[in-house]
Amino acid sequence: MTKANKANYIVEELEKLYPETRIPLDHKDSYTLLIAVLLSAQCTDKRVNLITPALFNLADNPFDMVKLTVKEIREIIRPCGLSPKKSQAIFTLSEILIEKYGGEVPASFEQLEELPGVGHKTASVVMAQAFNVPAFPVDTHIHRLLTRWGITSGKNVVQTEKDGKKWFDEVLWNKIHLQIIFYGREYSPSRSPKFDVDFITRKIGTAKALKELM
- Whichever domain contains 89, its CATH number is 1.10.340.30
Q: Choose the final residue of a domain: 104, 129, 154.
A: 129
Residue 69 structural domain:
30-129
Residues 50, 118, single domain; the answer is: yes
Residues present in the chain in total: 214
pTM listed for this prediction: 0.89
Report the domain count for the chain: 2
Q: Choose the final residue of a domain: 111, 129, 147.
A: 129
Residues 57, 39, single domain; the answer is: yes
Q: In this predicted model, what pLDDT tens digit does every residue of 78-99 receive, in sequence order?
A: 999 999 999 999 999 999 999 9
> Is the pLDDT score of 193 beyond 70?
no
Q: In this predicted model, what pLDDT tens digit does every residue of 86-140 receive, in sequence order?
A: 999 999 999 999 999 999 999 999 999 999 999 999 999 999 999 999 999 998 8
